[in-house]
Amino acid sequence: MKGRLTVALMFLVSSHAIGQQADSLKSPWQREAVGSLNLTQVTFDNWTQGGENAFSWQLLLDTKLAYQHKSVSWSFSGKFSFGKTRLGQSEFRKSVDEIRLESVLKFKAAPSIDPFLAITALTQFAPAYDYALENKPKISAFLDPGYFTQSLGLSITPTEGVKARMGLALKETVTRNHPAPYADDPNTPEVEKTRIETGMDMVADVSQKLSKTILLTSKLQLFSNLKAVDEIDVFWDNLFSAQVAKYVQVNFNFRLIYDKNVSKKRQINQSLAIGLTYSFL
């Protein structure tokens, strides 16, 4: 319930901000929304060399909303991606699924160092299944798990396109029907559906143009519960975007996750997509 309230609060604040932006031509609000749709299709008919029909699609929406004032700055960002793949006669299976929201409020206190308050949320749209098992059990779903982090501390902007912040943090992992391995503590007889951790949170954001048509955006988030070095949670998201034509874009996404509570090994997800892109704002 706490996780749902956090997401709802973030959306209400952003909706109010957009309404304020429309009220004034000289509004301090800046907004951006870019979406892309990528399709891949392969068909065989009497092909003696062999092969299987394949079809995949992926939708990506990246949104940003920012407010600038003499003493306060506020930003909201959201990344929404979802895609499915079908091989041969099998059913469509999820290949990409991510909802990531972030809200950061900064108070300008020095030329490059500012106090901040931040909220982040991470979950997925659709259920996921373990296709390696015969009965294909469901292993996760929307807000199952859901990750929420609230932090406060100091942020720095050493150069244009590079931002970093570090501070005290509270991290909640919420589940409903799939507490293990996300929230449940195997060392206790009870089945916990929520895990709450306190510690330190560090986030680094990089947005750099490598050339006129290639953009690199990278986000590294580290959370430490201050118990041990091997218990530092790592979330690293990298996106290379190349605009090869007015409406044609190539995206390469590389994500690395390490969370000892979920898996003792690092998790890697990468995708390469070529498709149509459009800027809404």
For 229-239, how does the pLDDT look when each residue is reduced to its tens digit (9 = 90+)?
888 999 999 99
Q: Would you give the distance in Å from CA 4 to the centre of its chain?
A: 17
Domain that holds residue 39: 2-279
Please report which confidence band the pLDDT of residue 275 belongs to, taking 50, 70 and 90 as the band edges. confident
pLDDT (0 to 100) of residue 40: 86
Burial bucket for residue 113 (CB in 10 Å: 0-12, 13-18, 19+): exposed
Q: Is the dihedral of CA 199, 158, 101, 208 positive or negative?
A: negative
H helix or E strand, kind and range, residue 128: strand 128-129
pLDDT (0 to 100) of residue 148: 97
End-to-end distance of the chain based on CA atoms, in angstroms?
33
Query: Looking at 44-90, which runs of residues are DSSP E strands?
Result: 54-68, 72-87
pLDDT (0 to 100) of residue 26: 61
Does the pLDDT of residue 272 top 90, yes or no?
A: no
pLDDT (0 to 100) of residue 183: 95
CATH code of the domain containing 7? 2.40.230
Domain total in the chain: 1
pLDDT (0 to 100) of residue 56: 92
* Tens-place pLDDT, residues 142-176: 999 999 999 999 999 888 889 999 999 999 999 99
Does the pLDDT of residue 65 top 90, yes or no?
A: yes
Cα separation of 201 and 154, whole Å? 11
For residue 242, what are the β-bridge partners?
214, 250
